[in-house]
Structure 1
Amino acid sequence: MLTLPTPDQRLEPYQLTGDPLEPRAPRVPLTRTAFAAAHVVSDPLAERDPWIGRPAVDWDNTLKFRHWLWDQGLGLAEAMDTAQRGMGVDWLTAKELIERTMAEAKAHPLKPRVACGAGTDQVPLADLTSAEAIIAAYSEQMEAVEAAGGQVILMASRAFPAIGAGPDVYEQVYGKLLGQAADPVILHWLGDMFDPALKGYWGGKNVAAASDAVLSIIKSHPGKVDGIKISLLDHAHEEAFRARLPEGVRLYTGDDFNYAELIAGEGQHYSHALLGIFAAIAPAASQALEALASGDMEAYHALLAPTVPLSREIFRAPTQFYKAGIAFLAWLNGAQSHFIMPAGFQSARDITHYAHVFRLADQARLLSHPDLAQERMGLLLKLHGID
């Protein structure tokens, strides 16, 4: 029994009620491609001046967490915003992460699919004032991803909005990058609720104009785009957008509010997944996708429905702080021995949020080791003066 804080500043007793899912590999081939975007685990003993310089990464635990995802049949989206790109993790660290992860993936018996983020964050925004400079920055990271053997995800770059780029600049840059890519890439449309610096992406005056702009890029480069990840938290827009995609181009949902319905889809139109929340709900995600592949929609929704309130709490505004909830659940479940994040990011959320995540994770059957989770939640409560 724990005493947990509530949003109205009361304290209430809470008894664990969940029947935790046992992580396991799917028993049938999945019919949806599913990438879980994973975080990095800090080394708290090696961390110095965490707000300054490169983070100290606990590589053993960081890679162990990736094996845990792969063992459950999930793919991996590596070095994305979930891994704190631009929020504590610099490009040199991300490059090392990509190289280490790809070496592990090649040796894994399931040969998991891994896609890796390529962006422009190794160059200061002040130096990214032209299409040529943006292309050069992207190209450096793309080459590193391809050299390691990963699939390229062209991450959304803050450089475009910073220079007020119109659709023509996006076409120039993305056209060049797609032309030089060795294999089909995944595009990345991250809304400003995840990163305010990305407001106005694709150069359109509104979402409809932005949609037209990126669809024009995709259609102008047949065979070069595997799919596009959309994270706008707009269910209706995603459904309308995916119906307009050329045949063979996937829609990877990044909608951490509505993923269950979007992945289930309607008839021939459905979304695949590239989700930060899948790293936190891996057992439910894997087993739900197994049920979907087996045609058991009742089991699919029974497994995923309880995870949606949890995801909505983890990704609530300010949405860019969701990374703290992902790492928190990894700590509760024993995937890491501490709750320390690059740049001290664990302080981005308050104790009431963490208490609510604890309750919802239990109710979604996602506290794999209940006794350990209760012990660690108790330690965090004591740190905040709640005994």
Structure 2
Amino acid sequence: MQIRLPHADGGLADYVLKAQPIAPQGPTVKFNRTVYAAAHVVIDPVATADPWDASPVVDWESTLAFRAHLFKLGFKVAEAMDTAQRGMGVDWPVARDLIRYSARHAQSVGGEIACGVGTDQLTPGPDVTLADVEAAYREQLQVAEDEAVKVILMASRALARCATSTNDYVAVYRRLLRDVSQPVVLHWLGDMFDPALKGYWGASSLPRAIDAVAELIAENASKVDGIKVSLLDPKWELALREKLPPGVKMYTGDDFNYAELIAGDEAGYSHGLLGIFDPIAPVASVALGALAAGNTFLYREILDPTVALSREIFRAPTRHYKAGVVFLAWLNGHQDHFSMAGGLQSARGVLHYSKLFELADACGVLSDPELAVLRMRRFLAVAGGITS
């Protein structure tokens, strides 16, 4: 099986598929890490008339079916996170429905979710105060708590804009943690994912920010299940991980180095809360099953090849990684179109998608190679004028 793909030199070359998808054979093995897949949203591209200027219309059947797919593979779902295009095409009213519908769906099928709670109903600006930020967090917290789901306290653009010191961050988080009904997951998203979050935690350097976060968690350990760190450099995650109190989890959000961080070493390991687990879920499920069975070699043999794919999906500008996630969902038959909230499928070019196709095939992520080839040819014809 082969396909002609474009390359950076402007030419076309035949690519012969490996066509060896990886997926669990039989019942899924229970993982020995707590692993959340941050899930994307499927929109209705026909009903969404003005994708740049209005909220998307969600295809709820396909969106919830994809969550069922993740549950079946052994994953918990991180809902209404940045992978679901929060703040980049999906606004708070849509995210609110996503939390409600996904929570009830998970309960009906025996899945487990944690939901992103943020402040995206606020527009960051000079008139927004810390009190406004706290009130916005509390409004969203109430929605999640009404559904009795675990909360992920997302990083806030509005807080990053109005906070003037580390003390401002700590004061807001401390008050929120005091009042939550169950332990939450904190969320540290680097500015490579969202430039508006530059300097989060109000410290002049990452070591100082790590110290501030570690102190906040130590003071509120009974209210913190863990912290997701997405800085794309393992040294910072490891530095914070070693400072966490017993029982508080480190959830890696490092889509460049997740295989080694989850495997761990004699000093410990990270759990996972990752956007890359959306497109590579079947492969990751097999690998995590091997890890749970004590076969670290097989785990790395299966999962390590996915890292090249992940690094391409999450390459700079990293905030556009959602396009690659949705593209692979389309190639793998989880939705009938390649359209995104906000029209953000246009954020990456044809060469990027061509490279994703090759890398996904190389690591066993194309679950139905024949369908993937058919759809890739259609994509190349429409997006690149390539019909040969």
TM-score by length of 2: 0.97
Question: 2:385 corresponds to which residue?
Answer: 385
* Residues 1-387 of structure 1: pairs in structure 2 closer than 5 A: 1-23=2-24, 27-108=28-109, 111-126=110-125, 129-383=128-382, 384-387=384-387
CA displacement, residues 315-362 of structure 1 (integer Å, 9 cap, x when unaligned): 000000000000000000000000010010100000000000000000
User: How far did residue 26 of structure 1 move?
Assistant: 5.3
Greater alpha carbon shift after TM alignment, 319-328 vs 153-162:
153-162
Contact 2:28/2:289 (CA < 8 Å) preserved in 1?
A: yes
CA displacement, residues 108-161 of structure 1 (integer Å, 9 cap, x when unaligned): 1xx222100000001222376322111100000011011112111000001122
SS for the counterpart of 1:230 is strand
Separation (CA, whole Å) in 1 of partners of 2:239 and 2:13? 43
User: How far did residue 9 of structure 1 move?
Assistant: 2.4
Contact 2:28/2:73 (CA < 8 Å) preserved in 1?
A: no
SS for the counterpart of 1:169 is helix
Separation (CA, whole Å) in 1 of partners of 2:287 and 2:366? 17
Separation (CA, whole Å) in 2 of partners of 1:282 and 1:26? 15
Pairs aligned (count): 385
SS for the counterpart of 1:280 is coil
Contact 1:332/1:373 (CA < 8 Å) preserved in 2?
A: yes
CA displacement, residues 258-290 of structure 1 (integer Å, 9 cap, x when unaligned): 000000001251000000000010011111111
> Where in structure 1 are there 5+ consecutive unaligned residues?
none
Separation (CA, whole Å) in 2 of partners of 1:27 and 1:285? 11
Separation (CA, whole Å) in 2 of partners of 1:139 and 1:314? 33
User: How far did residue 22 of structure 1 move?
Assistant: 2.9
Separation (CA, whole Å) in 1 of partners of 2:343 and 2:26? 33
Separation (CA, whole Å) in 1 of partners of 2:363 and 2:29? 23
SS for the counterpart of 2:225 is strand
Q: Which amino acid aligns with 2:178?
A: G
User: How far did residue 371 of structure 1 move?
Assistant: 0.7
Separation (CA, whole Å) in 1 of partners of 2:68 and 2:5? 32
Change (3 A) 1:60 1:27: closer
Separation (CA, whole Å) in 2 of partners of 1:357 and 1:38? 18
Q: Which amino acid aligns with 1:80?
A: M
Q: Which amino acid aligns with 1:35?
A: Y
Q: Which amino acid aligns with 1:308?
A: V
Q: Which amino acid aligns with 1:93?
A: V
Contact 2:122/2:158 (CA < 8 Å) preserved in 1?
A: no
SS for the counterpart of 2:93 is helix
Q: Report percent identity of matched pairs.
A: 53
Contact 1:18/1:364 (CA < 8 Å) preserved in 2?
A: no
Contact 1:188/1:228 (CA < 8 Å) preserved in 2?
A: yes
Change (3 A) 1:27 1:79: closer
CA displacement, residues 174-221 of structure 1 (integer Å, 9 cap, x when unaligned): 001001100000000000000000000000001111111111111111
CA displacement, residues 47-75 of structure 1 (integer Å, 9 cap, x when unaligned): 11111121111110000100000000100
Contact 2:28/2:72 (CA < 8 Å) preserved in 1?
A: no
Change (3 A) 1:119 1:60: same
| Cα root mean square deviation, aligned | 1.2
SS for the counterpart of 1:94 is helix
Separation (CA, whole Å) in 2 of partners of 1:26 and 1:77? 22
SS for the counterpart of 2:115 is strand
Greater alpha carbon shift after TM alignment, 14-23 vs 139-148:
14-23
CA displacement, residues 4-45 of structure 1 (integer Å, 9 cap, x when unaligned): 111232211112113112356754321100100011001011
Greater alpha carbon shift after TM alignment, 180-189 vs 51-60:
51-60
Separation (CA, whole Å) in 2 of partners of 1:129 and 1:54? 23
Contact 2:130/2:162 (CA < 8 Å) preserved in 1?
A: no
CA displacement, residues 208-255 of structure 1 (integer Å, 9 cap, x when unaligned): 111111111111112000000000001112112101111110000000
Contact 2:231/2:253 (CA < 8 Å) preserved in 1?
A: yes
Greater alpha carbon shift after TM alignment, 221-230 vs 13-22:
13-22
> Where in structure 2 are there 5+ consecutive unaligned residues?
none
Change (3 A) 1:333 1:23: farther
Change (3 A) 1:27 1:63: closer
Separation (CA, whole Å) in 2 of partners of 1:8 and 1:49? 35
Contact 1:25/1:73 (CA < 8 Å) preserved in 2?
A: no
Change (3 A) 1:82 1:176: same
